[in-house]
Structure 1
Amino acid sequence: MLKKYSFPIIIALISTLIFCFSPGLSEHIRPKSPLVQHFVEAKVTRMVSQELSPDPHVPSVITGRQIFFAKILEGAEKGKEVRITNPLSRQHNVYVQAGDHFIMMIRLKKDGQPYYWAFNHKRSPAIYAMLTIFLLLLLSFGKKEGLNSVVSLYFTAALITGVLIPAIFAGWNPVLLTIVLMGLKIVVNYILVCGYNHKSFCAMIGTLLGVIAAGAFSQIFGEMAHLSGIYLDKGEDIVYLTTAHPVQIRWLMFTAIMISALGAVMDVAISISSSYHELSQADPTLTPAQLRKASMNIGRDIMGTMTNTLILAIAGGSLTTMMMVWGFNMPVIQFINTPLVTMAVVHGLAGSIGIVLTIPLTAWACSALFPVKIREKEII
């Protein structure tokens, strides 16, 4: 039993070690904030006054001002009751009532006195509950494969937050770093999900080449359109997070599209590799050329749905931008040349190109790496 789960256990331990040691090892390269502040959970004990009214444009949003007392529930000032003035607007709308829990920001002012602020609603219970439901469903229906999927997600999170982001802030080249880390992620994921065999090895090759193609097209055509990582969400803010090694923000488009397209490209690659494998098992007399052609025919059916999946995901994230375009009745020459729209289009098309190229790349890898004697004997 232990041997059966040895690889997932090893990957889970490596991921845990990354999460444990990365903060300490990367602390010296973390951008330093001039603000002295920390966040704690607090509870509203009693209301002092409220001047509230519905927003005239969004009646469901309450605006105005609240004054209340809150008890700090954790940290050095645990148990302390403080008075808070809470202005409510559309953008900052932490409307609370007596007994509510919220996240309080405590910031030291220039004179050394603390300033207390109702920073946000406590949203973590909803996130943890949803995550628990997701994990239970994954483990209930997937069993061992579900467990391996959880370990794979855990490993991905460790690579991105514990290695990729600190290394980018350390001044490393995002392109080479992303290729290496995503390559490692691809290998581990396929071994966990599919095992170590010709099917997974071909899918690894197709996936890596596909996401590199997506990243390359994103970078090349992004620069042709005079875009760079600075136009990514919060890209300009990253520029001001100064460290001893400036972030190479020019190459962040490559990194962003490789990460965002990876899931869809992996689905396509393993579908092509599995199709090739199953066809070879069903009829061992088929030649590599025939198997390759059949796999690519299957890939054409997959292509339409997967490109739609990627484009629709990007469109969903850009919904409010599209609403603004429609609402202001912008002419094509205006909206197609705005950075946000151009960035979304380049990302969507680059990811779709990566998906399309993954199909022939994986099929060719299968035809080269599935010898006839292996095809006749290998089983899943």
Structure 2
Amino acid sequence: MLKRLLFPFTVFLVATAILYYSPLVSDSFRPKPYNPQQLVRAEVVEVLTDDVRADFAVPSIVIGRQRLLVKILEGDQAGEEHEVMNNISRLHNVYLQPGDEFILLIRQRGDAKIYWPFNHDRAGAVYWMLGLMVALILIMGKMQGLNSIVSLYFTGSLLIGVLIPGLFAGLNPVLLTIVLMAVKIVVNFLLVAGYNRKSLVAMLGTLGGVIVAGVIAQFFGEMAQLNGLYLDKGEDLIYLGSNNQLQVRWLLFVAIMVSALGAVMDVAISMVSSYHELREVSPEQPESERLIATINIGRDIMGTMTNTLILAFVGSSLTTIMMVWGFQMPVIQFMNIPAISLAMIHGLAGSIGLIMTIPITLLFASVVYNRGKN
């Protein structure tokens, strides 16, 4: 039992070390905030004035103004009480009542401090959902569930502690992403499947599939005159990373590799598992028949997984598509909206990478499993 826990525990320590030391290493090139400000938790002590009304377009919310007496719960000013104005609109809809906890923005402007209700405190809901997910994974998966959680934690440490700081440091996004995805893939399959031929083939097939997806996204993105600037907040990144030569052009490649990785991993392990089981059940079966049978299994997987990727990217652009339909926009105009084109290229590139994972994985499976046979 201790041996089985040794590797997950080591991965957990490495991920924790990455998250701990990353801010220290990246502090020299991390963009500095334009305005000195802090976000702290606060509580509404009393609603002094409440001039709000139901929004005629969205009756379930209110708009208007409030004057609040609030108490700061954390930070250097913990325990202090201040009067704040709360302007409530559709976009900034932070309607508060006595006893509500929320996030208060404190910004220094000259010699004065500005206090503004920034947002509802939503962290509690997220943490409860996270706890529920972890509990279900552990109950259903037991040791495999624990390995899955450690793998997810390690992935987060690579993205937050290495990939993002590395991009701001001006490192080559393509090489950095490929290396990090390779490390992620290796650690994930070692945790989930152990070290054997099945996991080795799944590693190689997954890496091949996500690289294909990234290359396709970058190639056709540039053909369509799209680049990282058209990603959400892409233009804002130029101002954040101008002094560090942030290579925005290649962010399409990075984005598609990260977003398609999960689906490609599923396909790769499914393909090699099918091949492995066919080989175990019928070792005398000719290799050509085994490959054809595995490809037939892959066709069924492909049909559902491509829908998953396309629908995921369409869902991220749902409101934009609704606006287009509402304005009765011509197809030629619809197809050439950068956000729509980008979502299509992302979905299609991910699907192509997923499809190509099937033959790539089978090629590696045939080579690895039959190496030295003759």
- How far, CA to CA, are the matches of 2:343 and 2:275 in structure 1? 34
What SS class does the counterpart of residue 97 from structure 2 fall into? coil
1:235 partner amino acid: G
- Correspondence for 1:40: 40
Runs of 4+ in structure 1 deviating by more than 3 angstroms, as ranges, are none
Residue correspondence of structure 1 range 331-350 to structure 2 within 5 A? 331-350=330-349
- Correspondence for 2:60: 60
What SS class does the counterpart of residue 155 from structure 1 fall into? helix
- Correspondence for 2:172: 173
Tell whether 2:299 aligns with 1:300.
yes
Q: Which runs of 5+ in 1 are unaligned?
A: 375-380
What SS class does the counterpart of residue 241 from structure 1 fall into? helix
Residue correspondence of structure 1 range 1-380 to structure 2 within 5 A? 1-110=1-110, 112-371=111-370
- How far, CA to CA, are the matches of 2:40 and 2:286 in structure 1? 65
- How far, CA to CA, are the matches of 1:243 and 1:161 in structure 2? 20
Mean alpha-carbon deviation: is it higher for 313-322 or for 361-370? Answer: 313-322
- How far, CA to CA, are the matches of 1:100 and 1:316 in structure 2? 32
Q: Describe the superposition over 1:41-61 as per-residue Cα deviations: whole angstroms up to 9, x where unpaired.
A: 000001111111111111112
What SS class does the counterpart of residue 346 from structure 2 fall into? helix
What SS class does the counterpart of residue 29 from structure 1 fall into? coil
Q: Describe the superposition over 1:113-136 as per-residue Cα deviations: whole angstroms up to 9, x where unpaired.
A: 111010000000100000000000
1:30 partner amino acid: R
What SS class does the counterpart of residue 242 from structure 1 fall into? helix
Preserved contact between residue 272 and residue 295 of structure 1 (Cα < 8 Å):
yes
Q: Give the deviation of 1:293 after TM superposition.
A: 1.6
Q: Give the deviation of 1:371 after TM superposition.
A: 2.2
- How far, CA to CA, are the matches of 1:283 and 1:364 in structure 2? 19
1:239 partner amino acid: I
- How far, CA to CA, are the matches of 1:190 and 1:134 in structure 2? 21
2:115 partner amino acid: Y
Preserved contact between residue 63 and residue 90 of structure 1 (Cα < 8 Å):
yes
1:83 partner amino acid: E
- How far, CA to CA, are the matches of 2:371 and 2:229 in structure 1? 50
When the two structures are superposed, what TM-score results if normalisation uses the length of structure 2?
A: 0.98
Q: Describe the superposition over 1:39-82 as per-residue Cα deviations: whole angstroms up to 9, x where unpaired.
A: 11000001111111111111112100000100001111111000
1:59 partner amino acid: P
Q: Which runs of 5+ in 2 are unaligned?
A: none
1:177 partner amino acid: L
Q: Describe the superposition over 1:337-358 as per-residue Cα deviations: whole angstroms up to 9, x where unpaired.
A: 0100000000000000000000
Q: Give the deviation of 1:373 after TM superposition.
A: 7.9
Preserved contact between residue 291 and residue 367 of structure 1 (Cα < 8 Å):
no
Preserved contact between residue 175 and residue 255 of structure 1 (Cα < 8 Å):
yes
Aligned residue pairs, count: 373
- How far, CA to CA, are the matches of 2:288 and 2:185 in structure 1? 26
What SS class does the counterpart of residue 243 from structure 2 fall into? coil
Q: Give the deviation of 1:243 after TM superposition.
A: 5.0
What SS class does the counterpart of residue 28 from structure 1 fall into? coil
Q: Give the deviation of 1:370 after TM superposition.
A: 0.3
Q: CA RMSD in A?
A: 1.0
When the two structures are superposed, what TM-score results if normalisation uses the length of structure 1?
A: 0.97
Preserved contact between residue 289 and residue 367 of structure 1 (Cα < 8 Å):
no
Preserved contact between residue 40 and residue 74 of structure 1 (Cα < 8 Å):
yes
- How far, CA to CA, are the matches of 1:281 and 1:211 in structure 2? 28
Q: Describe the superposition over 1:303-342 as per-residue Cα deviations: whole angstroms up to 9, x where unpaired.
A: 0000001111111111111111111111100110010000
Preserved contact between residue 30 and residue 243 of structure 1 (Cα < 8 Å):
no
